[in-house]
Structure 1
Amino acid sequence: MSGRRNGTDVGNPWNTRPPRPPGDRPDRRRPSRAPAPHEERPAGGSRDELRLYGLNAVQAVFAHRPEAIRKLYLVESRIPALKSLLAWCVKQRVGYRVVEEGDLDRLAASTHHEGVVADVLKAEPLPVADWLRALPERQPVAALWLDGVGNPHNFGAILRSAAHFGVAGILLPRDSTLALSGAAARVAEGGAEQVPLVRMGNPENAIAQLRGAGFTLAATVVRGGDDLFAASLPQRLVYVMGAEGEGMDTRLAAACDQRLSIPGTGAVESLNVAAATAVFLAQWRAAR
């Protein structure tokens, strides 16, 4: 079974045979050590591949883009939960290795891997024009424009909320460095595979394209906006979410059609961007 270096595995560390059923006694000799991140990077390099970790994150890739999976690492206790994925790896001759918990800690550079790590091909952001053409006609649509959001945990939480409320896309400015990471995908709990990322061009052109497709742009601001819970929300809406610290670009906020705020007690200055996003999306969904 697995990645243990027994007589049949020497010289072939990547297993493509079915895993041993959980009830069988495994080889108790020392398993081969999975390489640490600095020893082995995804085969296509950082530009083409991404190292994901977390059970829901990996299973979501398998459900939506199995062909993107390049390598799989798992602890023995995860074999039952990943039986279908392992069978697919055998059929497609995709290498997998059963390793120890500490090996996954090194591979993921995190202890929050939940027993599985995978190297997968990245899903490149869509051009905004292609995304707009693919949208369903005559149906309510919500999207998120992320202006300066950079924290991967906030990004992952935003992706999770976006998937939960049926957001059609995450719009990224032309010069945004925000990209899916292993940490963001784990926090998203599978949401990263549900919501497409969209790369915009020139901001003025992007705004014109969105308005031409029937969208209203709403700047989300801490103070001075219309009460979210009293406002009339349009059928096609883009919430523009600002950075965690400095907020959104003032010129972008001025170019939006609406300014919306979440009323509160004032006991704290504001919600963090991920929590605020969930509130805004819940209200849009409730209005439908």
Structure 2
Amino acid sequence: MIKTELTTIEGRNPVFEAVAANLPIEKIYISNKAYGSQISKIIAAAKEKGVPFKAVPPDKIDELAKTEANQGIVAVCAEVSYVTVADILNRAKEKQEPPFVIIADEITDPHNLGAIIRTANCTGAHGVIIPKNRSAGVNPVVFKTSAGAAAHTPVARVGNLTQAMNELKENGLWITGADMAGEQEMCDADLTGPIALVVGSEGRGITKKIRAGCDFFVRIPMAGEINSLNASVAAAVLMYEALRQRRLK
């Protein structure tokens, strides 16, 4: 495991998932004006796991929070774990499934990255790979947007994305790029085997160097006047197509 700092996790579902996933939480702060079944559920889980929690005035929550959607609760963490590419591949091996990996190429918007991690978890991807440079990291906004999925989905943050892709290839994965000019529509491509799906940023798409390392490209069929999707939406469509094919196999 590779450690990195993460200041806060905010919002009721993200905090609950962080407790459930045994993330290293130093303390949970709960507004004394916050009520409801989810708050009770978090308190019960914190007691069970031995995680300290404290009721505080709403102003204290606002002081600690880094987003505006804290829902009256903030968990302060010492660190969160990034994994290695090998860890992601081992996860697929343990599940006895063909590896399914998502590569986020220079996704700088933390909301997009959080949404991609959330969908990766929902579709059974074994992990997400991001570059250290020119990319959002797993920060409080990413954690919040992922609805807690970042606590369960392994994320590898690598210094050289090309080297990571080569490591995947050496382990039998095909590198599949998402591109509106791809040679195959997603429904015609075989996404059932060991694959890594590369998603580029909005505007730029997949960078030139990473494109050169892709084995083939797939496109999403379009029927309207607009011929492009938000990066996280495009990633979601392709991930669910991969899940559909894998379930039919």
Asked whether the 8 Å contact 2:116–2:236 carries over to 1, the reply is yes
1:1-288 mapped onto 2 (5 Å cutoff): 48-66=5-23, 68-76=24-32, 77-78=34-35, 79-88=39-48, 91=50, 94=52, 96-136=53-93, 138-288=96-246
> Using a 3 Å threshold, how does the CA distance of structure 1 residues 209 and 158 change in structure 2: closer, same or farther?
same
How far apart are residue 236 of structure 1 and its match?
Answer: 1.0
Instruction: Give the Cα–Cα distance (whole angstroms) in 1 for the partners of residues 217 and 135 of structure 2.
Output: 25
- Structure 2: segments with no counterpart, 5+ residues: none
Matched pairs, number: 238
Amino acid at match of 1:183: V
Between Structure 1 and Structure 2, whose CA radius of gyration is higher?
A: 1
Change over 3 Å in CA distance of 1:253–1:134 after alignment to 2:
same
Length-normalised TM-score, structure 2: 0.86
For residues 241-267 of structure 1, give each alpha carbon's deviation from its aligned partner in whole angstroms, at most 9, with x where no partner exists.
101221111232132111011011241
Paired with 2:161 and 2:120, the residues of 1 have a C-alpha distance of: 22
State the alpha-carbon separation in 2 of the partners of residues 263 and 192 from structure 1.
29
CA 1:233–1:160: 2 relative to 1, 3 Å: same
Gap change, CA 1:213 and 1:87, over 3 Å in 2: same
After TM superposition, give the deviation of residue 188 of structure 1 in Å.
Answer: 0.9
Shift of 1:272: 0.5
Relative to structure 2, which stretch is displaced further, 192-201 or 163-172? 192-201
* Percent identity between the two aligned chains: 26
Residues 203 and 98 (structure 1 numbering): CA distance in 2 closer, same or farther, change over 3 Å? closer
- Give the SS at the match of 2:212: helix
Matched AA of 1:100: P
Secondary structure at the aligned position of 2:125 is classed as coil
> Higher helix fraction: Structure 1 or Structure 2?
2
Letter in 1 for 2:13: N
Superposition CA RMSD, Å: 2.2
Q: Distance in 2 between matches of 1:219 and 1:206?
A: 15
